[in-house]
């Protein structure tokens, strides 16, 4: 079945780095744009980043721009989020999610049809 | 950035009630809006895309409407499994933004 499984979360000190992974199965991963979305404890959803289906286009929330990098390895069906210079406010559950339609390029227009498949989330805690 | 404002932030309702949640965008987004349901400790689940299109597998008691800046999610007859938090999300431009959420609680 269609599935996304995140890993790599944990407890990390402020200023340190962490890399999250999202393993995809049950669909043609290389055909879909992918997202990272996070949720701080007791708070709402916050979009973090998107990468186009072929990795050519990437966009970030202002809150993580310059610190986080989204990437993908289509040969391994895996999405990544490299998180550097972590702050206490980055503490959250991090979800990966799939674009609802295939072949999202997002080099020109940004309109999309939502995120239709989500992982179970991985928890990142930034604390000294 | 486009700001999304949901109301109410919480609603108490009984099984069988009709529930309406509204979402307002700070600027026009045509029909580029999605709705999600999230239960405690679980990932969000896509209910509605393009403002009014029902995602596959979602019960028909859920419906969405609106365009421009004002949108509505309606649950026609609330079921026990519908008690959850609902989020709208503008899908018009990056950065994507979510509303603050509406918690539907048991009355």
Say if the Cβ atoms of B96 and A50 lie within 8 Å.
yes
CA distance, residue A59 to nearest chain B CA (Å) = 7
- Can you give the pLDDT of all 128 residues of chain A as single tens digits? 999 999 999 999 999 999 999 999 999 999 999 999 999 999 999 999 999 999 999 999 999 999 999 999 999 999 999 999 999 999 999 999 999 998 888 888 889 899 999 999 999 999 99
The number of residues in chain A equals 128
Question: Residue A109: what pLDDT?
Answer: 86
Question: Residue A83: what pLDDT?
Answer: 98
**CB-based contact (8 Å) between B92 and chain A?**
yes
**CB-based contact (8 Å) between A27 and chain B?**
no
Q: What average pLDDT score do residues B51-66 get?
A: 98
Closest by CA position to A92, among listed A47, A33, A35: A47
Say if the Cβ atoms of A100 and B44 lie within 8 Å.
no
Alpha carbon distances (Å) from B66 to B38, B52, B81, B86, B92: 22, 8, 25, 17, 14
Say if the Cβ atoms of B92 and A110 lie within 8 Å.
yes
The answer to whether A17 and A84 are in contact (CB under 8 A) is: yes
Question: Residue A105: what pLDDT?
Answer: 85
| Cα B17 → chain centroid | 16
- Average pLDDT value over all residues in chain B: 97
Say if the Cβ atoms of B32 and A95 lie within 8 Å.
no
The number of residues in chain B equals 107
The answer to whether A2 and A115 are in contact (CB under 8 A) is: no
**CB-based contact (8 Å) between A121 and chain B?**
yes
The answer to whether B101 and A44 are in contact (CB under 8 A) is: yes
What's the burial of B14, exposed, middle or buried (CB within 10 Å: 0-12/13-18/19+)?
A: exposed
CA distance A58 to A52: 6
CA distance B69 to A2: 34
């Amino acid at each position: 079945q269609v599935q996304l499984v995140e890993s790599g979360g944990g407890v990390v000190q402020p200023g340190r780095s962490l890399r999250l992974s999202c393993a995809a199965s049950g669909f043609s991963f290389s055909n879909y744009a992918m997202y990272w979305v996070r949720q701080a404890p007791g708070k709402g959803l916050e979009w973090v980043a998107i990468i186009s289906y072929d990795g050519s286009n990437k966009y970030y929330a202002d809150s993580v721009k310059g610190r986080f990098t989204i990437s993908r390895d289509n040969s391994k069906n895996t999405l990544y989020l490299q998180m550097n210079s972590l702050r206490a406010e980055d503490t959250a559950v991090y979800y990966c999610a799939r674009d609802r339609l295939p072949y999202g390029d997002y080099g020109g227009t940004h309109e999309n049809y939502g995120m239709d498949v989500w992982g179970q989330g991985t928890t990142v805690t930034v604390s000294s | 950035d486009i700001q999304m404002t949901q109301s109410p932030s919480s609603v108490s309702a009984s099984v069988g009630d009709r529930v309406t949640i509204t979402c307002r965008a700070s600027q026009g987004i045509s029909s580029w809006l999605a709705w999600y349901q999230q239960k405690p400790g679980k990932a969000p689940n896509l209910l509605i895309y393009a403002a009014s299109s029902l995602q596959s597998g979602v019960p028909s008691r859920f419906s969405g409407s609106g365009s421009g800046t004002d949108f509505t999610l309606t649950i026609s007859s609330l079921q026990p499994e519908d008690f959850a938090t609902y989020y709208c999300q503008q899908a018009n431009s990056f950065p994507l933004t979510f509303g603050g959420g509406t918690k539907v609680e048991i009355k």
